[in-house]
Structure formats: structure tokens, C-alpha cells
């Protein structure tokens, strides 16, 4: 169930309260992804982000990184469903910075503005998905909720705009989308041809049996 962003006040914790929460958090961790409190009060830790992308992403090769002009080394493809990535971040990192870091980690060339980070949580036997604002701090949310992803998890999606805003995509991205559609069309056409060829073969075999002398 998707709901509008909840207006939750950010509770500013004292350094001692943060320390206590981190100790409690780390005592419950089962995957060794613990948090660390630094002397300056900033803490670091890990979040897992599930990728739920409906459209293809454009990925750069390592040779084309850092170039401003579109490169022929960019490829568009669909991410598999349920793909989960782990990021090491700090308590000062915002949602927008997390999105940018996630895309950079996997050499995604798409504009970060196309994406949004959501939180998914369980309340009263229902699952709620809420879009996070760019200024929120995911690691703080993770700390408050605890390490169990059943209580809170993060999801990366495209912005929900109703219809696809194709004008937001670059020419190389659109060309890659067309190539993907052409390949999918050819694959489906070949499957259809193979199915009818097999059906034709069985009919011809049945006819030969019927027309066989004696």
C-alpha cells in the first residue's frame, strides 16, 4: 500500500542517546553490518536498498566515466527484480546523496533526479511504502527502526509521474530503449515462428500417417 509521505518530526538525539541506540542496534545485528560512532558525533553504518525499477537504466563502461558527451560505451538494460545493494553511509548523508552514491557505485549514467527513495515499513499487519524527501537522513531512520528489514527497508524507484516523461531522457537513452524494444520484438517473433513451425511439423506428420498406403 503506497501512501503519501508522512510528516514525521526529526527527533534530534543527544550524543549519549545516539551512543545508547547504536549499542542497542549493534547488539541486534545478525549480518555484521554494524554502526560506528565517531568522536565528532557523526555515526556511520550500512543500509540495504532494493531496486524496483520499471524502466531500463543506462550504464557507463569504466572507459567512458567522467566524459560529458554521450558515449557509445553506454548500455541500457533492465535490472532483475529484487536486486538489493548495500551502501556504507554516514548520518549526515541525505536521501539525495544516497541516490547519487548508489547510481555512481554502479556506473549508472541516468540523471539522479529521475529516481526517488522510499521507505517500506510494517504497521498493524499492513505494509506501507512512503516516499522520502531529499533532505531526510536514511541512516538515522535505520538507527531508529533497528536492523530488522521487516520493520524498515529502503526501495529505489523511478519518480511516479503517471506517464513516462520521455523528454527527460537523452537521445542515446531513447535510442537504447528502441534497440531493447527491437530485440524484444525479434525474440517474441522468433518464439512465435518456432511455435508455429513445431505445430506445422506435427500436422504434416499426422497427415503422412493418415495418407500412408495400407
Say how many residues make up the chain: 214
pLDDT score for 159: 77
- Are the CB atoms for 91 and 140 separated by under 8 Å? yes
Beta bridge partners of 97: none
Q: Which region, left, alpha or beta, applies to residue 114 given φ > 0 means left and ψ of -120 to 50 means alpha?
A: alpha
Opening angle at CA 174, ends 170 and 179, nearest 5: 145
Per-residue pLDDT tens digits for 107-156: 888 888 888 999 988 777 788 888 898 889 999 999 999 999 888 999 99
Exposure string of 184-210, with b = 16+ CB inside 10 Å and e = fewer, is eeeeeeeeeeeeeeeeeeeeeeeeeee
**Stretch 179-198: mean pLDDT:** 86
pTM over 0.85, yes/no: no
Pick the CATH number of 15-60+71-161 from 3.30.2130.30, 3.40.718.10, 3.10.20.90, 3.90.470.10: 3.10.20.90
User: Cell numbers of 145, please?
Assistant: 527502526
Q: Which of 53-62, 124-133, 147-156, 174-183 is modeled with the greatest confidence?
A: 147-156
- Identify which of 152, 165, 18 has the alpha carbon closest to the alpha carbon of residue 90: 18
Beta strands in the chain (DSSP E): 2-3, 36-37, 43-51, 57-59, 75-77, 83-90, 115-123, 126-131, 152-158
Where along the chain do its domains lie?
Answer: 15-60+71-161, 167-211
Amino acid at each position: 500500500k503506497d501512501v503519501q509521505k508522512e510528516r514525521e518530526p526529526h527527533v534530534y538525539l543527544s550524543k549519549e542517546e545516539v551512543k545508547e541506540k547504536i549499542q542497542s542496534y549493534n547488539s541486534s545485528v545478525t549480518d555484521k553490518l554494524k554502526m560506528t560512532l565517531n568522536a565528532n558525533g557523526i555515526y556511520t553504518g550500512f543500509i540495504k536498498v532494493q531496486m524496483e525499477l520499471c524502466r531500463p537504466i543506462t550504464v557507463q563502461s569504466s572507459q567512458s566515466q567522467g566524459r560529458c558527451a554521450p558515449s557509445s560505451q553506454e548500455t541500457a538494460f533492465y535490472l532483475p527484480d529484487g536486486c538489493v545493494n548495500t551502501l556504507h553511509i554516514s548520518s549526515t548523508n541525505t536521501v539525495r546523496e544516497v541516490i547519487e552514491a548508489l547510481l555512481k557505485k554502479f556506473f549508472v549514467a541516468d540523471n539522479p533526479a529521475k529516481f526517488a527513495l522510499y521507505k517500506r515499513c510494517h504497521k498493524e499487519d499492513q505494509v506501507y511504502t512512503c516516499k522520502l524527501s531529499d533532505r531526510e537522513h536514511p541512516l538515522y531512520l535505520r538507527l531508529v527502526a533497528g536492523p530488522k528489514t521487516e520493520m524498515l527497508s529502503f526501495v529505489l524507484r523511478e519518480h511516479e509521474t503517471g506517464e513516462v516523461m520521455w523528454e527527460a531522457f537523452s537521445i542515446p537513452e531513447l535510442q537504447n530503449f528502441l534497440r531493447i524494444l527491437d530485440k524484444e520484438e525479434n525474440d517474441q517473433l522468433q518464439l512465435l515462428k518456432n511455435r508455429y513451425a513445431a505445430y506445422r511439423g506435427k500436422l504434416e506428420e499426422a497427415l503422412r500417417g493418415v495418407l500412408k498406403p495400407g
